[in-house]
Amino acid sequence: MIEGIPIYHFLIVSTIMFFVGVCGFIIRRNLITMLMAVELILNSVNINFVVFNRYLYPDQLQGHFFTLFIVGVAATEAAVAIALIINIYRRFKSIEVQNVSEMKF
């Protein structure tokens, strides 16, 4: 429990981060920027985990550990995603997402 700061403040921050991430993912054309947007979404979720753990079950640690795992997984995911992006760049000579549209009917 952090004195003077109610839970809403944290939740509002994480919600804003989440929707900024979603908007970035949908709007930005650059694949790297989109990846960053995804990281933003992940981190907003991390904040939620930590906050709920702290405010609802202060004597337990599951939320924290989940967060740590997510950070780890996000790191590997970023590595994979960047590898993919490099491959895409080699193939299309561009990392603009609208150019990568071969997967359709």
Partner 1 sequence: MTGYAYTVLIPLIPLCMFLVLGLLTVKWKPIVFGIMGTVGMGTSFVLSLITAINYFFVVGPGPNGFEPIIATKVTWLRLTEFLHIDLGVMLDPISVMMLVVITTVSLMVHLYSMGYMKGEVGFQRFYAFLSLFSFSMLGLVLATNIFQMYIFWELVGVSSFLLIGYYYEKPSAVAASKKAFIVTRFADLGFLIGILVLSFYTKTFDFADLTAPNTTIFAESASVSFIGVSVFTWAMLLIFMGGAGKSAMFPLHIWLPDAMEGPTPVSALIHAATMVVAGVYLVARMFPVFHFQAPGALEVVAWVGGFTSLFAAVIAMTQFDIKRVLAFSTLSQIGYMMLALGVSGYGGEEGLGYMASMFHLFTHAMFKALLFLGAGSIIHAVHSNDMNDMGGLRKYMPITHITFLIACLTISGIPPFSGFFSKDEILVAAHNYSNTLFSIEYITAGLTAFYMFRLYFRVFWGNERHYHHTPHESPLVMTIPLMVLAFASIFSGFLPFSELVTSDKIGFETETHLMVALPSVLIGVLGIVVAWILYKKESLVPKSITEKLGIVYTATFNKFYIDEVYLFVTKRVIFNYISRPVAWFDRQIIDGFMVGIGKVTEKTSYEIKEMQSGQLQHYAFAFVAGTLILVLSLLYCLV
d(CA 16, CA 11): 8
The token pair that represents 6 in the structure block = 């109610």
43 and 68 Cβ atoms separated by less than 8 Å: no
Q: Which is nearer to partner 1, 1 or 26 (CB)?
A: 26
Minimum CB distance to partner 1, residue 17 (Å): 15
Specify the DSSP class assigned to residue 93: S
Minimum CB distance to partner 1, residue 105 (Å): 4
User: What residues line the site for partner 1 (CB under 8 A)?
Assistant: 22, 25-27, 97-98, 100-105
Minimum CB distance to partner 1, residue 104 (Å): 3
d(CA 17, CA 44): 6
> 3-state DSSP call for residue 69?
helix
Q: Which is nearer to partner 1, 54 or 77 (CB)?
A: 77
Q: Which is nearer to partner 1, 13 or 100 (CB)?
A: 100
